[in-house]
Amino acid sequence: MPLNLTKPILYLITGGATTEATKPSDGEFQDVLALVSAAVAAGIQLIQIREKRLSGRRLFELTAQAAEITRGTSTRLLVNDQADVATTAGADGVHLTTTSLAAGIVRAAFGKRLLIGASTHSVAELKAARDGGADFAVFGPVYETASKMRYGRPVGLESLSRAVNQVAPFPVLAIGGLSAENTTDCLRAGVTGVAGISLFADAAALKQTVDKLTSLK
């Protein structure tokens, strides 16, 4: 599925507050849906449902309800890792981690109709995602962030720029420790857009955040 989105692409990733015990009536479940609604209203182009601890049934229910919100809008919905849930629940695509099936396998199984994003932390992983048929990749962490410490030291802007140039024109989104203040530097490094959890976590301020980031293009 071609990306064909206005730059800079803004990619909201949900925070993973749900658990295996979460029910649709619970606050953390409803908070995800409220954030999806705010993202659509603000003009966010990509959303990833990244609720890794939910059961398969609850993840399907959450994704299906989120897909109802995004359907008919310019926002595309992806599900972390689970392409089967994405397709059956009506999402637009799947986001693959470094431990997921390779992009080529997923593309062969689901065809061109599925939007495929991939998490990458090296040029080799970027090239594998591109060559395997992914539509885009996120690359990082660019800056220090607690959620990405297991992937090693931040890559920094210089390595980000080199990586982007080596796979151009393949779309690469920066991730890791991003803020409304340092995003400008990432865009100057040549990325197609930015992705994050905390960057887009405040539903009440989301429109203001989006307006600020899109003014940087």
Paired sense of beta strands 9-13 and 46-49, if any:
parallel
**pLDDT at position 148 over 60:** no
Query: What is the rounded average pLDDT for all residues in the chain?
Result: 94
DSSP for 15-70 reads: -----TT--TTSHHHHHHHHHHHHHHHHT--EEEE--TTS-HHHHHHHHHHHHHHH
Residue 134, pLDDT score: 98
What is the reported pLDDT for 150?
Answer: 63
- DSSP 8-class letter at 152: -
Confidence band, pLDDT 50/70/90 cuts, at residue 149: low
pLDDT-based confidence at 146, cuts 50/70/90? low
pLDDT at 153: 83
Under the banding of pLDDT at 50, 70 and 90, the label for residue 201 is very high
**Tens-digit pLDDT profile for residues 179-200:** 988 999 999 999 999 999 999 9
Phi, psi of 184 (to 5 degrees): -55, -40
Q: Which helix (H) or strand (E) holds 206?
A: helix 206-214
Cis peptide before 8 (omega within 30 of 0): yes
E-strand ranges in the chain read 9-13, 46-49, 76-80, 93-96, 115-120, 136-139, 172-174, 193-196
Sign of the dihedral through C-alpha 84, 17, 38, 148? negative
Answer whether 118's CB lies under 8 Å from 103's CB.
yes
d(C-alpha 70, C-alpha 63), whole Å = 10
**Local confidence band at 216 (pLDDT 50, 70, 90 cut-offs):** confident
pTM recorded for the entire structure? 0.95
Would you say 141 and 117 are in contact if contact means Cβ atoms under 8 Å apart? Answer: no
Question: For position 3, what pLDDT does the model report?
Answer: 82
From 161, 164, 109, 155, select the one nearest 136 (Cα to Cα): 164
Residue 120 and residue 167 in contact, taking contact as beta carbons nearer than 8 Å: no
